Structure 1
Amino acid sequence: MTLTFEVDPAVDPALRDGVLALWADVTNAGGAVGFVSPITPDEIRPALVRHLVAMTEGRTRLLVGRDGDGEVAATAFFTFNTHPLMGHWVWLYTVMVHPRHQGKGYGLDLMAAVERAARTADGFAAIEAIRLTCRGGLGLEGFYARAGYKEVGRIPGAIRVAPGDDRDDVVMLLPLT
């Protein structure tokens, strides 16, 4: 079974609830997606609402991956730069694959879909690179490197997971040109 990817899916209650459940499940399994475990979908809801508002304003786009049952199994949010000197690259946020699907190659499938979308989807014509940050100490740099991203910066101790547990904020870049 593979995932089916879609850029800019219709946002309805099923998608909203699917993304919330995915985000909570990924976080509670130890994923580094903006929160720490334990967390509930209700605690994540304000962050998702911010993403959805940015989508309605045209500042953010969603790539969703669905499994064979049609359930939300993966996501990545693209955020366009509003700074006039940085409009040629996008930020990638909230990159997730559901824990039940991890270890099947779906993470690299998601990253390939991200790259395809940035190269071919309407509205991405001027995009020359994708930039993301990841939490150090989890091996994520290696995963993104396998997807073609290069580490271009690191801010030591910028992410405080818990008192006494500071992690590096690692900046990764994928040139598209």
Structure 2
Amino acid sequence: MALGFDLDPAVTPALRDGVLDLWADVSNAGGAVGFVPPVTREEIRPELVKHLAAMSEGRHRLLVGYDEDGRVAATAFFAFNTHRLMTHWVWLYTVMVHPRHQGKGYGRELLAAAADAARDFEGVEAIRLTCRGGIGLERFYGSCGYKEVGRVPGAIRVAPGDDRDDITMLLPLE
């Protein structure tokens, strides 16, 4: 069954808790979304608050995918550039699909929905995102149309002795 997507949903306690649960579950399953396991919802909460504050200021937008039970199953945050020479592209951050839904094609659905949403943003011509090397994310994003446009070797330290590349990917929105 496909996900149902909502761009700019009302930020209710249920949505906030759903995103926190998703972020913790993805992180604890080894997902590359800014944390390493083990992590708690309370450790993640300050990062979510930053995203929510940016949303209230119009600097970020949220795309949420809901599963057939109405639970938050996927998210992606858009971040708009404030530099006048870079307003023609947006960042895509915190791209997540719940581990229970892995392998169902929901990641592709999420990225397609994000591209569709971004095409409606005034003046936006491309999406950029970064991903952590060493786990195959660049291959996944590549299969969804993104192209690798930059790589900083060892820029992400997951643990002592475990440095990963920071990979920048770009999707033109023809």
* TM-score normalized with structure 1 length: 0.97
What amino acid maps onto 2:90 in structure 1? Answer: V
- 2:104 is matched with 104
In structure 2, which of residues 145, 150, 156 is the aligned counterpart of residue 148 of structure 1? 145
Q: Identity across aligned pairs (percent)? A: 76
CA distance in 1, matches of 2:58, 2:144: 27
What is the CA distance between 1:7 and its match in structure 2?
0.3
SS of the aligned residue for 1:82 comes to: coil
1:176 aligns with 2:167: no
**C-alpha RMSD over aligned residues:** 0.5
Aligned ranges for residues 1-40 of structure 1 at < 5 Å? 1-40=1-40
Match of 2:161 among 161, 164, 167: 164
Which of structure 1's runs of 4+ aligned residues deviate more than 2 A?
none
1:53-132 alignment, distance < 5 Å:
53-120=53-120, 124-132=121-129
TM-score (norm: length of structure 2):
0.99
1:44 — aligned with what?
A: 44
In structure 2, list runs of 5 or more residues that go unmatched: none
Q: Counterpart of 2:103 in 1: which secondary structure? A: coil
- Give 1:2 shift: 1.2
Aligned residues: 174
The residue aligned with 2:135 is: 138
Cα deviation digits, residues 81-131 of structure 1 (max 9, x gap): 0111101100000000000000000000000000110113xxx12001000
Structure 2 distance, partners of 1:41, 1:117, is 28
Q: Deviations over 1:125-171 (max 9, x none)?
A: 20010000000000000100111000000000000000000000000
Flag structure 1 segments of 5+ consecutive residues without an equivalent: none
CA–CA separation in structure 1 for the residues paired with 2:149 and 2:72: 31
